[in-house]
Amino acid sequence: MREKADDGQFFIQAEDYYKYFHDTNFTVDNSNWSSAYFLQLDDDSAAERPGSYVWCGANCTRHTLHLKSSIKQDVFIAAHTWDARCQADSCAKTSPMPHAIEIKDGSNRAFTFPSGARQLEPIELEANTEIEIVTEWNFTDADMAKDWSVVAWAENGALTFRHDEGIKSEELPVIDRVEPTTPASIGTDTLKKMRKEEKN
């Protein structure tokens, strides 16, 4: 018997799942993992740091980062910029050239993505040995927000990023969680008082 509950869980025939679902993603709980990131906001440095990949060339913005782990371990690396749903419609039409991330390991493989994030396969890092990571960003459209980051996660030892030119990572403020207050939980009298204060 199927339970009636508003908990987001549902049941589906396996045949229907294979027919109607494109893919399935599983997220690892990394709440107790080590992490490091490099963030750039409003990156307008294409003239000083032109790209070189054939699909974008000098119009893109190139940055080289170095990542180090304090111990030998597997590290998960991802490049991030704004998702397509956060961009102006004109960006999708006029900016077909992708962003790219490459680990300089001799394979000469750069992984591209049009927007959002590009997760790489985990890579084993030796203790206190840096790897070089090259990124190129297509911010050629004036309507596109020129923000990007590279993030690394690992289960144990500390991780650190540094920029090839000594540029410091920017930071976004961390907002502490606040329990929501709704009309049902704060009471009618309190709600009327809050609305009156807002008008004043």
pLDDT at 132: 97
- Which residue ranges make up each domain of the chain? 28-163
Q: How many helices (H) and strands (E) does the chain have?
A: 4, 10
Read out DSSP for 37-103? EEEESS---TTTSB--STTTGGGSEEEEEEEEESSSEEEEEEEE---GGGS-HHHHHH--SPEEEEE
Predicted TM-score (pTM) of this structure: 0.74
Which residue bears the tokens 């490091």? 36
Q: Please give the backbone phi and psi of residue 38, each rounded to the nearest 5 degrees, phi first.
A: -130, 125
Class of domain 28-163: mainly beta
pLDDT at 15: 92
Residue type, 23: D
pLDDT at 1: 45
> What does the pLDDT profile of the chain (200 residues) look like in tens digits?
456 666 667 788 999 998 988 888 878 888 889 999 999 999 999 999 999 998 888 989 999 999 999 999 999 999 999 887 776 666 555 556 799 999 998 888 899 998 889 999 999 999 999 999 999 999 888 778 899 999 999 999 999 999 999 999 999 887 787 776 655 555 556 656 666 666 66
Residue type, 6: D
